[in-house]
Structure 1
């Protein structure tokens, strides 16, 4: 697995996909899967979370990602792990230490720097997934803490944004 801690995702984009051009073609954004503990700061995934992580990988049977972006927290990496193993995608860790706004802006800039045919998976958090989608031009509602089954798929082509929200894996309990 190729992995890099980054402060600017555009650097990882160039390393993963060659010379950067206008924008990424397809961006998938998911929240990390169910965690084993609500009291630990950086918990592992629960059994349900492990199944959901496998469901994420199944989404990419035909179109594997070139780049997977995670936060420094292990639950985002563990959610993306089966996809990374199946695809051999480059992994970028987008830091959270400068705050959520900086994290989202780093992701936005990095995605927009990727080649037109890039496929990206972003594994985020309930408070970042909607913000990342909105920063890329796709409107989506805030995400409740108990929602794990939302998948946002965004197409960026020639300055145009289209997208859809799907559900995957076992339904979340609301």
Structure 2
């Protein structure tokens, strides 16, 4: 398996984890918080999808799916369209509420398709391209993609944990 195949497989595994955490949940479960400082499944999946969308679009030189396909208006969140959830306060987390699992998963799947299409076209040399010079050392595309993958897996795991707690209640 080449580099592109490894990256695509990793993104596929995130997709499986996201769908397992979200499929079939009612809005009250998606939006539930285990306590007033906790993240809901809605926020976790929205956030991991927004970060993936933002970072992959930037690396690909493309517009975010959130903006180009009208997801910002479909979600109707009280944030700037560019918001990804990074640095959100507990009150802002509470404002991310969705009316269906399908909305979350449809947006996730749209971003997933874009991400996999992008990484399938990469070779090892492409991963060495610097995508962010604001860090020391500068961030390469490979490092950025690994960062997205690990962040997404952590948040998908957190969403699965919240689902498990809610199901045992």
Question: Which interval holds the TM-score relative to the shorter structure?
Answer: under 0.3
TM-score (norm 1): 0.27
TM-score (norm 2): 0.28
Tell me which structure has the larger Cα radius of gyration: 2
Q: Between Structure 1 and Structure 2, which shows a larger proportion of helix residues? A: 2
Q: Between Structure 1 and Structure 2, which shows a larger proportion of strand residues? A: 1
